[in-house]
Amino acid sequence: MAVNDEMTMKDIARELGVSVATVSRALKDSPSISKERREKIQAFAREHNYVPNAIAEQLRNSRKQPPKVIGVILPEFIHYYFATVLAGIEDEASKHGYRLLVAASHENEEREKRICESFYKNKVCGIITSQAKETVDFSHYVKLDELRLPLVFYDRICPAINANRVVVDDYVGTLKAVSHLIDSGCKRIAFYGTTPNLEIGKNRFNGYKDALYQHGLTLDESLVRQCDTRQDAERITPEMLKMKNRPDAFFTVNDETAIGVLYTVKQRGFKIPEEISICGFTNSTYAVTCDPQLTSVEQNGYEVGREAAESLIGLVEGTLSSDHVVKRIVKTRLVVRATTK
């Protein structure tokens, strides 16, 4: 064996003239090996700086019990909200001795399907996922459900699967935010939402509509746009500002889109919030690094992630019944800053 090579159990067995199985049992202090032989093998291993191969050990143990590895699917890696969700998942998983296998769908249905297949082949004990924007065929999730692989959805849930989920109260958060805009004197509130095939898109739009109705305002479809990125906001907002009866406020589905609105409104010389108010959803770092600072609905991604991991671990370890779907709702909070009156 070369000087820099790591000592293996095979090397120990060859040097001492015993089987690999004997070395393995001795290193685990098994009483099936005589005390004298155990001590001899253990002393030799210490002298030669033997370090167990953790990966090989996991593979051996996986034949007896499922490996403690959770698959996590994020729609995007570079996104404040999903990064905070991942932090919550990782902290809770680590506390219970689980590791993560993480992949991003990049909002693509086919990529999401490949990730699910890869996770299953790699024998994860369960999957925590948020549906990609483009996903309209849920057969990959249906298949995993039929295979009895524990699934927990967060943020964007899959209506075709009766699985545990963790969501924020999108409807209430939006209702409060739009009500705040109306109470501050705004009457023409534009709504920038996400794709209608996502439940969060429907819930936030319903919160917007109901806030208008509760305050005696009618829904104007000309103020409603599918717009959920900064790029789209910078493209669409100039048209909105040219309207004869332009919006006096914008509610956006996320902070990134709100920043696009803020930039465009300032560029065209409107005063914020005197002439136009803006409210986002997430309460990300964007909200406090822009000028003026952004009013936003705090989404609490860390808690969403923590509860999603707690739910999945409960399913894996049997403390939660797989026959009873658990829906957890994380409360939102409106954080008022300088972009609203």
So what's the pLDDT on residue 5?
57
So what's the pLDDT on residue 3?
38
For 83, other C-beta atoms within 10 Å of its C-beta total: 17
| 322 vs 182, residue with greater confidence | 182
So what's the pLDDT on residue 46?
87
| Tens digit of each residue's pLDDT (9 = 90 or more) over 173-219 | 999 999 999 999 999 999 999 988 899 999 999 999 999 999 999 99
| Tens digit of each residue's pLDDT (9 = 90 or more) over 139-174 | 999 999 999 999 999 999 988 888 999 999 999 999
| DSSP bridge pairs for 168 | 330
For 139, other C-beta atoms within 10 Å of its C-beta total: 10
| 152 vs 55, residue with greater confidence | 152
| Tens digit of each residue's pLDDT (9 = 90 or more) over 309-320 | 999 999 999 999
| 218 vs 62, residue with greater confidence | 218
Three-class DSSP category at 317: helix
Interior angle at CA 276, CA 275 and CA 278, nearest 5? 155
Instruction: Check whether 4 has a pLDDT greater than 80.
Output: no
Q: What percent of the chain has pLDDT over 70?
A: 94
Instruction: Check whether 286 has a pLDDT greater than 90.
Output: yes
Which residues 6+ apart lie within 8 Å of 56 measured at CB?
none
Cβ(250)–Cβ(258) below 8 Å: yes
Which residues 6+ apart lie within 8 Å of 13 measured at CB?
19, 20, 22, 23
Buried b (16+ CB within 10 A) or exposed e, 268-303: eeeebbeebbbbbbbbbebbeebeebbbbbbbbbbb
Q: What is the DSSP string of 14-33?
A: HHHT--HHHHHHHHTT-TTS
Instruction: Check whether 60 has a pLDDT greater than 70.
Output: no
So what's the pLDDT on residue 1?
44
Dist. CA 317–CA 314, nearest whole Å: 5
Sign of the CA dihedral running 76, 297, 250, 259: negative
Dist. CA 105–CA 74, nearest whole Å: 6
Q: At 271, which helix (H) or strand (E)?
A: none
Cβ(24)–Cβ(17) below 8 Å: no
Tell me which DSSP letter residue 326 carries: -
Q: Give the pLDDT band of residue 24 (cuts 50, 70, 90).
A: confident
Interior angle at CA 67, CA 64 and CA 71, nearest 5? 150
| 322 vs 334, residue with greater confidence | 334
What type of residue is 13?
A
Dist. CA 181–CA 211, nearest whole Å: 10
